[in-house]
Structure formats: C-alpha cells, structure tokens
Structure 1
Amino acid sequence: MEHESLALLEALLHIPSLSGQEAEAAAFLVDRMAGYGWEATVDAAGNAVGLVGHEGPLVVLLGHIDTVPGAIPVRVEAGCLYGRGAVDAKGPFATFIQATRRAELAGRLRCRVALVGATEEEAASSKGAHYVRERYAPAYCVIGEPSGWNRVTLGYKGRLLVHYRLEQASAHSAGELPAAPESLVAFWREVEAHCAAHNAGRERLFDQLIPSLRQVASGGDGLTDWCTATIGLRLPEGIDPACLADDLRALAGAAHVRFEGGCPAFRSPRTTPLASAFLRSIRAHGGQPAFLHKTGTADMNVVGPAWNCPIVAYGPGDSRLDHTPNEHIVISEYFQAIEVLAEVLGQL
C-alpha cells in the first residue's frame, strides 16, 4: 500500500497544473479513482471527483490540485519527496485518495465519501470550491491543506485583493503636483495606518488585519503618467470585505480601485465529532494532537459558511514550505497522515 501511495503522489507531481490548467491532472486522478471501482468524473468546473460508498453520512474531502508557478524537479531525496504541490496541496489530496482506499479495503468505511480535487484555489476565483458549494450538503467536510500529520486546522483568515490604478497628466518633477508613484505611496501608508489602528491591542496574528504590497509598476508616455499596484489584505474575524472595500475606496482619492477575491475569515469549533475523531486517531498513532488557526486563506472560507457542518483542514506537510523553491514532503509523514485519516473515516 505504501508503494502505491508514493507512486500516486509522485506521478501527480510530474503533471504541471497551474491554476486554470488542471485538466491533465484531473484526468489522471479520475482515471486512478475509476481504477479503484469508484464513480469518477471531471465536473463542469474541471474538478476531479470520486464518489465512494452507498450508506451513511456524506463526507466531502475537498482538496485542490492546482499549484502556483515554479517548476521543482520531482525527486526522492533523504526520505523526502520534492515537487511543486508536494505540500500545497497535491500531497493532502493524494492522502485523501489513499486513506479512503485503505478504509474501504479494510471494510471500515461506514460513510459515503465525495473526493473533490478542486481547481483554481490558488487564484482569487476559487472556481472549484464555489462550484461544489452549491452541489453538496455534507454531514462532515475535510479540506486538504498541510497541517502536519498530528495537527488539525480549525480556521483561516479572510482575504481582500485591492487593484489600484492612478492616471494623471504629466507634469515637471519640480512642479507642485505629486507624481503618480508618490500618490501610491501615500495611499499605501494610509492602508498601513488603517490596519495599525485596528490591530492596536491585538497580539495574535490571527486577530490582526495584515496588509501586503504585492506588485507595483509605473510609467508614462509624456502626456499621461500612471501607477498601478496590487495590495493584499488578510482579514481577521469581524471584518467584512465589502465594508473594508468601502473604507479603502475612500482613502484612494482620485485613483481607481478594484477589489477581488473578498471572503471573510472562518473558524470551526473544536468540539465537533469530526475534530474529536481526528484527536483520537492522532493519539492512537502515537502523536500529540494540536489545533491550528492559519493566517492564510483556503477553500474552507468558501464552503464552511454555506455548509455549516463540522469542518477541519488536514494534510501532511509543513505549510512554511508552501510556494517555496524547496517544497517537499516527508514521505513517512505522508504515510502517517493516510493512516490517521483512514481511521477517522472509519469513525464517522
């Protein structure tokens, strides 16, 4: 079983699947799941979907199969498997498939399982998650994101992307009119001050409103000068993306601002039957379980409020390696996560 599990993930890592370009990876996964005798298809959003079981509560295992750019040679080295997506998040979705298979073969699967390898999670669209949100009503949901084999994620911060553009008539650098880049800098400082005012007295990162300046460009043609920027904000609980957008629009002055990817923070209780099943399983496999609250955003933010069911995020891997040139997963941890999740599925 371990050889099969490693071969699945290694083969998946060899297939490039940038956001919006997941078709080959989805087809591969559907073929693999169909080979297990499961009902498997690519849905209208391009998600790879596998359906297992006929009785019991519905459990949706929702991972994502798209990755950020950056090719990393796939290789096994010193007990680790390297490749883009090994941690974020092909490793967790391969864990979903192999854990479901293990529970089924052991005769322990007492629930219905819908495995969804979602598209465009790394893009602001979250296309795959938005599609399935309207098509399932699960009793339980597990999101495929790296937490480490002995930890479970209960919540993620929200997100808002701000696209800024200012155009103005060209002027001499010795004149009184601020240059377009100077106006951007002033806006960025206003955004920082707005966030700092909210964060006063809040020490935990999960409770803070955190801005990041992601892209800046400027130029001109002798008649018109322009400056553009993209600003990302990570939202704590209690911050509504639409209200924050109104505040930032007021700070932008004459610039045009466009907003994208707005979603509120989401946190699930730690006292659900699903969370308890993970705690028991992790302890049974020799681990000391812990709960996490992440400062990033995931598909939990999309489906959690709509499904209103017990939900956690789980998967092997160190999330500090997400999007890095050194992305890799410890193979033994991958195998441990498969066993933990198989045990959880047997308890639901």
Structure 2
Amino acid sequence: MTQSTDPIDLATRLIAAKSVTPATGAVFDAITPMLEAAGFAVTRFIDGSDDPDPENGGPVENLLATRGSGGRHFAFAGHLDVVPPGEGWESDAFAPEIRGGLLYGRGAVDMKGAIACFIAAAMRVPADAGTISLIITGDEEGAAIHGTRALMRHMADASCTPEMILVGEPTSVNRLGDTMKIGRRGSVNMWIRVDGTQGHVAYPHLADNPIAKLVTILNEIAAIELDQGTDWFQPSNIETTDIAVGNPAHNVIPKSASARLSCRFNDLHTGTEIADRLRAIAEKHGGTLKGVVSGEAFLTPPGELSNLVQDAVESVTGVRPEASTSGGTSDARFLSALCPVVEFGLINATMHKLDEAVAVADLENLTDIYEAMLNRAFA
C-alpha cells in the first residue's frame, strides 16, 4: 500500500498538525500536495479575515478538491479543526502514538481519522470512474460561520453541485457500522432579558423587581409542548441553561435579570418560528428575547443514498447500520440544502475526551467502506 492510500499514515500526519478551531495552514498543507498529485483540482481560501466580530470565529481556511468531469458526482465532507485538548493526556495530544492497536491524538475520531479514510478511498478509485469532491472546512467545532457555508457559496460560484454527500462524522456507537445519521435536529439559542428598577427590598413599591417577571416568562415557556416527535425524530425540547442576576447584595432589588435557553427541534418547526413564539411570551411580560439559529432540522428520507451507505457498510463489516437522527448538530445541516446527505463514520465514544483514540483496524475498514460507497455510486 502506497503512502497516499494508507489512512493510518495520513491520519497520523493530520493529527500531528495542530488545528484547534478555527483551523488554517499546516493541517491543509498536509493533504494539498497529495491531492494535486492524484489529479484533484484543489482550491483553498480564507474566509472571515475582515469579520470584526470575534464571536464569528474567523479567519477560517476551507478546501474544495474535485476530480473528474463526468458520471455521477459523489462528495465527502468533513472538518479538520478540533476542540482544545484539555489537560491530563497520557501523551501529547498532537504527537500521535499507536498503543495497543489504537491511534491516540486529538482529532483521531472527530474527525481527522475519517478524512484520512475518505481521501485514501478516493485515491483507490480510478480517476475516470466519476466525479469526486472533497469538501473540507476548518470551522465546524467553532462558530461555523466562515466554514461550510462559505464553501457552499464557493461551490455555487463554481457550479459544483454534488448529487449525494457523505459526511464523515463519528456516528458509530458500539462498533464500526452500527449507526448512520439520516438527519439531525435543529438548534436555536435564545437570550431573555427583563429590566426593572433597582431599589431597597424594604421599599418594594419604589422598585420594580425583574426576577418575578423572568420567572413568569420561564414558567410559561416550560409549559410548552412543541410536539410529540415524528417517525424519525424525538420530541423537540426547550431547556433553560442559565439564569443570571448578578446581584451581590441581599437587601437590593436588582435592576435586571436574564436567562439563556436552548431548543433542539425536529423538522416540524423552524428556528425562527420557535424564537418568535418565545419572544411573544417574553414581550408580554415586559422582557426581550434575542434568538440565534445555529442550524435547521434536516432529514434525508430513506432512499438511494441511505441504501448505498448501508450496503457498503454491510459488505465490509457484516453489520447493516441503523438509521438515526439522534445527537447534536453537524455541518450536514447546511449541506442538506444541496442534495441528499448521510453521515457515517467512526465510533464516537472518545470524541472530545482526553486520550481520544481510534482503532487502527477501524481506520482500515472505514477506508474500505468509503471505497465501496464510491464503487457503488459509480457502478
């Protein structure tokens, strides 16, 4: 096996390129020459350099690599940025090591390992078999403002529209191949603020306590049942994640109170619709609400792509993956606007944890699975 088709070697090199979100530079340098040598047209660009808001996570590097001009157009998508490693690793998080059949390092599972596998798989497929695109961002773990969405704008300008996309997120639970994602719930974060009038607790008639109003708002929101779930999604839920007053004194009525809420919702709703509904409740009781939709719900109904994925996985592992919509968000929430999207990848048990690790055998098998997907797509 040559280096260019060896997922272990490539995963090791990617892990060694430190790329805490947002990622730029060296981690993209690790794959660009080999892709170009294999006939891929590679475009790299930075987005967000001129964004004045640091909360938006710029600048971010993105890469689009495409090979072929005929046949079906199959794309793999993923991210090279990783979360910070944290303290307490047995070895350096960015000095990958193989111990006991496991490759250790930040990003081994989420998701440099899968990117190594789908690059290796693409190298094994003849260049004239069909069109392959690799959609790789440096901003999935962060704000996701200047990452995949910027790539999609670039793809539209380049008239690069895949017919199906496989996102290599770690979806497997107990063994490689047991679970794939055909959808994800949407996410909207909301901030409620209620202003009052500060005063002495002994003279409440001279003050206006915002806490009581905030409690009323939160109680009314807590009573909402958005839905009872669908055939593919669990019920939508709204959770209060923070309440803040910032009042250090026991004898002072504060001038303001605030709360933060997060809602994960299924495809019966949109994020804007939910934020508008809760804003009306907040305003009715004298508050304000700001809502930020980080992603809408999406569903790729069972069909050609999910069957293709299941058949490829079963051909390699003997396991037919269960279709699921559980878990958090991923960049599939954006890519689903282009074409059918399914997520399938490594076992997710150690992602974001100390001593993140992937079985070497799983990297080899995942590469075989991705190669089988391409062969089936181009058959």
Q: 3-state DSSP class of the match of 2:11?
A: helix
Provide the rounded CA distance (Å) in 2 between the counterparts of 1:111 and 1:345: 9
Q: 3-state DSSP class of the match of 1:54?
A: coil
Say if 2:125 is the partner of 1:103: yes
More displaced stretch, 333-342 vs 122-131 = 122-131
Task: Name the Cα RMSD after superposition.
Answer: 3.0
Q: Deviations over 1:13-66 (max 9, x none)?
A: 233323334343233332442344432231343212222223322222111222
Decide which structure has greater helix share: 1
Aligned twin of 2:13: 11
Aligned twin of 2:187: 159
Say if 2:333 is the partner of 1:301: yes
1:80 Cα offset (Å): 2.0
**Which of 149, 152, 156 pairs up with 1:133?**
152
1:189 Cα offset (Å): 3.9
Provide the rounded CA distance (Å) in 2 between the counterparts of 1:231 and 1:323: 23
Q: How does 1:160-179 map to 2 (within 5 A)?
A: 160-173=188-201, 176=204
- Tell me: CA distance 1:169–1:276, structure 2 relative to 1, closer, same or farther (3 Å): same
TM-score by length of structure 1 reads: 0.84
Q: 3-state DSSP class of the match of 1:231?
A: strand
| Structure 1 residues not aligned, in runs of 5+ | none
Tell whether the 8 Å contact from 1:161 to 1:261 is kept in structure 2 after alignment: yes
Q: 3-state DSSP class of the match of 2:147?
A: helix
AA in 2 matched with 1:154: I
1:341 Cα offset (Å): 0.7
More displaced stretch, 123-132 vs 263-272 = 123-132
Aligned twin of 1:241: 271
Provide the rounded CA distance (Å) in 2 between the counterparts of 1:229 and 1:204: 32
Q: How does 1:1-348 map to 2 (within 5 A)?
A: 1=1, 4-45=6-47, 46-71=61-86, 73=93, 74-104=96-126, 110-134=129-153, 135=156, 136-148=160-172, 149-150=176-177, 151-173=179-201, 176=204, 184=214, 186-194=216-224, 197-199=225-227, 201-202=228-229, 206-219=233-246, 225-252=255-282, 253-272=285-304, 274-290=305-321, 291-304=323-336, 306-307=337-338, 309-318=339-348, 320-348=349-377
Provide the rounded CA distance (Å) in 2 between the counterparts of 1:2 and 1:185: 63
Q: 3-state DSSP class of the match of 1:285?
A: helix
Provide the rounded CA distance (Å) in 1 between the counterparts of 2:222 and 2:288: 19
Provide the rounded CA distance (Å) in 1 between the counterparts of 2:298 and 2:123: 30
- Tell me: CA distance 1:219–1:24, structure 2 relative to 1, closer, same or farther (3 Å): farther
- Structure of greater Rg: 2
Q: How many residues align?
A: 338
Q: 3-state DSSP class of the match of 1:219?
A: coil
More displaced stretch, 325-334 vs 134-143 = 325-334
Provide the rounded CA distance (Å) in 2 between the counterparts of 1:183 and 1:205: 37
- Tell me: CA distance 1:142–1:174, structure 2 relative to 1, closer, same or farther (3 Å): farther
- Tell me: CA distance 1:167–1:280, structure 2 relative to 1, closer, same or farther (3 Å): same
| Structure 2 residues not aligned, in runs of 5+ | 48-60
Provide the rounded CA distance (Å) in 2 between the counterparts of 1:210 and 1:230: 14
